[in-house]
Every structure is written in structure tokens, then in C-alpha cells.
Amino acid sequence: MEKEKRCVYFVSSIGLDKKDIPPDDADVSGNLDDMKKYRFPVRSRCWGYYFDKSAAMKAARENWTDINEAGWFQWAVVEEISEGLLQFGIYEEDCTFLSFDKEKGSYIELDEAPHELAQIYKRYSASMTFALG
């Protein structure tokens, strides 16, 4: 009998430092010298976790504890991660992304990962994991 998969829903905020995006000719997915030269332009902070996705989404949408940090983090993400040790290969299908709406003071759910963010992860050949590194 197969054990039921248990998941945890992590809430993280994400920012992009556009000034740190490497030039187009930099090979940051395979050239070790270029990888050392350019700082990874994405910053994230995990704020907590829930065992219920709806609770995690509510916390993210409503910007609990100011996860936006006064504009420092333009996006939030709720990641579904199975229990256990750090897992590689968490991609967009395991994430719900949100974008901060300044007028409302809350996050709005997106249909997919922000294009800028997805391009950075593709370029660096990185999977999207924000909560656990």
C-alpha cells in the first residue's frame, strides 16, 4: 500500500534586482567564470508554511506581516512541497505566483510565473525553489 503524499505550502516573497541581470552574452548556466562574475539577481524570503493551501494563499494575498516589505518584494509565491528533505525540480506547476497591487495593498494571483522571473530561472538553468533554497 502506497503512503499518502503529504505536502506543506510555503509562503515566500520574491524580488528581482534588475541592475544585477547579466548581459545577454554572459553564459550563466554553464560558464563557471561568468557564474562567479554575476550575482544571481533574484532575492527571496520564506515567511512561513501551512498544511492547508487555502490558508497559505490567504496569508499571501492579504500581505500578512508585510511580506511585500514596503515594495522590496514585488511578487509572492505559494509553493507546494512534499514532506522530506530538500527536493530539486520544483517548477511552475508546483507554485502559485502573485503580484503586489500597490493601490489595494495586497497580492493578486497570477496565471503563471512572471515572465521576467521565468526567464532568469531558464537562463541560469535553475529550478524554482524559493522557500528551501
3-state secondary structure of 48: strand
Query: What's this model's pTM, rounded to 2 decimal places?
Result: 0.84
At which residue does the C-alpha cell 495593498 appear? 105
pLDDT at 109 over 70: yes
> Can you tell me the mean pLDDT for 15-36?
83
Q: Residue 73 carries which side chain, given as an amino acid letter? A: F
pLDDT at 76: 96
Instruction: Give the chain's mean pLDDT.
Output: 86
Quote the CA–CA distance of 39 and 57 in Å, as a whole number: 30
> Can you tell me the mean pLDDT for 53-81?
96
Cα dihedral sign for 119, 124, 127, 131? negative
Least confident of 74-83, 99-108, 120-129: 120-129
3-state secondary structure of 112: coil
